[in-house]
A and B are shown apart, each in its own frame.
Chain A
């Protein structure tokens, strides 16, 4: 069986994932992905019946045990500067990153 994730597909995934890999890592990861897919293909053997309901979680939630929605009351975080202090580059209260180059219309 030919590999499901070809180098082309793999490279596309790497771009989508905002990664850039060296050859050794790329080769290892692509191999492992294809191995895992073989295990995943086990899922195809199972007959799925119509009355199977897909849910967001395994546990069931109902009106009684679901937490209530939040009331619309302002509660400011006590120290926003602590959050800003985590950023690698800050200037005059803005977080700074490099820009994405723009394309002009002809």
Chain B
């Protein structure tokens, strides 16, 4: 097995025992990138080529030299017997919304293509402090707006390593693709409606959306400030636990990062699921979709092999000692996307106000005598369609005359969504669940170009994941099978606030319980 395909915890063992050097680890990752990633995303990419269609394009920028230098320094420290960090020598990629000092942080948008942050986000800083080595920035939907990664201004957009005619999911598509393709052992993503979990499901990797406020948002280009959660993506649960351990915890730079102690996630990882109460809800096996003609929302059952995979996982967990409780009602699930349309757009529009060509980023090259014209031209020339769509919707539903009808109502619905979870997790009530088991996504990865353009359909790809963002609770997506179309199926576990240790534990049990299943031997197409 190549070094780059090993998990981070295996690599740490090899590094500690000096069987391999950090430089070898980094070299292996760089070689994999060279072999499968193809062109990195860029603003002036020109026409798509045949080669483009067969490669992954996870990265926007690879900082190979710095990475090798850092690896060299770590090797020297190890050689001298000096103490090294807990993640020393492990390469990672960061979604290009994480500001890292002296690197370009583009948010996959023309408006920030030339922006070099003078400071580093807390999450990246904590990883670097533990000796993890950033290989580069990975691609995403522009400003994290999307569920397919197609909207990036840095084309070619990332492709799903399992089938490069398909999307990797979004908005952390570059993150999950880089991990699935063995380019890095783990990646930092962000999740606002499912942007870690959905692409993790599509790419057959593990992704965690931590509790809101568990990980600092300082230094992350914001989408919806009350919903954004930075989180880890890796190929197995132990790695995700390692990464979360390093980044979680309060931060004096973030007023919403809670003062809750971070448990030792690894210590409890192998404790199993005996006696754990895991629920299944029929509301997560019905897909809502909009009839484009009538505009009405209808429901249909989820794809059969996805349903079957989730139920199979339930069986596996039951055989390991968990109690499975069916028919758990989550009546407000279907309102998750409509409420998200309102709340996230209001915050997004406001968060995008600062991109005006005055202080950083793109400014229109046409010389203007009127500041107002400069604003308009700058924003029009440099924002893609998705940001424009969100800005306009945000303006509309927060306008004084509509805000009661839309924004305030959506906030109340968010409270209802939270209540659904409070009630099933409440130890004093009927269900007293430790977790809810659901499909992560309504479908497997869809083809590139199949949905892009239909913004409603695209947003509904997040219908099973967005509820956790509204409620603030944590969720994990794990590989749970391969569908009849050969594409990964993700299963999701949702738990109460700050229950990441329990979710990781369950995820680890799921991993152990399915480790001999046939689908686990299958590999992404780019690696065959």
Contacts and interface: CB of A to CB of B under 8 A. Distances in A.
Whether the complex brings A and B within 8 Å at their CB atoms is answered yes
Interface of A: 1, 5, 9-10, 13-14, 16-21, 25, 28-29, 32-33, 35-36, 38-44, 46, 48, 52-61, 64-68, 70, 79, 82-83, 85-89, 95, 97-101
Contacts of A18: 356, 372, 375-376, 379
B349 interface: yes
A57 B379 contact: no
The 10 residue pairs across chains A and B that have the minimum distance between CB atoms: A58-B472, A59-B472, A38-B295, A86-B360, A82-B118, A88-B363, A18-B375, A20-B376, A58-B471, A42-B338
B374 A98 contact: yes
B392 interface: yes
22 contacts: A13-B392, A35-B290, A38-B296, A38-B297, A38-B456, A39-B297, A43-B406, A53-B415, A54-B408, A57-B472, A59-B213, A59-B473, A60-B497, A66-B259, A85-B118, A88-B363, A95-B359, A98-B368, A98-B369, A99-B371, A100-B372, A101-B369
A65 B213 CA distance: 10
B392 A36 contact: no
A100 B370 contact: yes
Contacts of A95: 358-359
Contact of B389 (A33, A38, A97): A33
B258 A61 contact: yes
B297 to A, nearest CB: 6
Contacts of A79: 118
Contacts of A16: 395
Nearest to B474: A59
Contact of A32 (B250, B371, B389, B416): B389
Interface in B337-377: 337-339, 341-342, 349, 356-363, 368-377
Contacts of B361: 86
B396 A33 contact: yes
Nearest to A32: B455
Interface in B144-170: none
A17 B342 contact: no
A97 B379 contact: no
Contacts of A83: 118
Interface centre among A1, A42, A52, A95 (most CB of B within 10 A): A42
Interface residues of B, number: 85
A71 B415 CA distance: 33
Chain B interface, >50% SS class: helix
Contacts, number: 191
Contacts of B295: 1, 35, 38
Given A28-B385, A98-B368, A98-B369, A65 B118 contact: no
Taking chain A's interface residues, is the majority helix, strand, or loop, or is none over half, making it mixed?
loop
Interface string B216-236: 000000000010000000000
Contacts of B460: 39
Interface in B411-437: 411-419
Contacts of B369: 98-99, 101
Contacts of A97: 358, 371, 374
Interface string B398-418: 000000001011111111111
Contacts of A66: 258-259
B338 A19 contact: no
Given A19-B379, A28-B385, A98-B371, A43 B413 contact: yes
Contact of B412 (A35, A52, A86): A52
Interface string B318-346: 00000000000000101101110110000
B8 to A, nearest CB: 28
Contacts of A56: 226
Contacts of B469: 58
Contact of B395 (A17, A65, A82): A17
Given A17-B391, A19-B383, A58-B469, 17 more contacts: A18-B375, A19-B392, A20-B377, A38-B295, A39-B290, A42-B297, A43-B406, A52-B419, A57-B226, A59-B212, A59-B473, A61-B258, A64-B259, A65-B259, A88-B357, A97-B358, A100-B370
B258 A67 contact: yes
Contacts of A36: 341, 393, 455-456, 459
B493 to A, nearest CB: 18
A46 B416 contact: yes
A100 B408 CA distance: 35
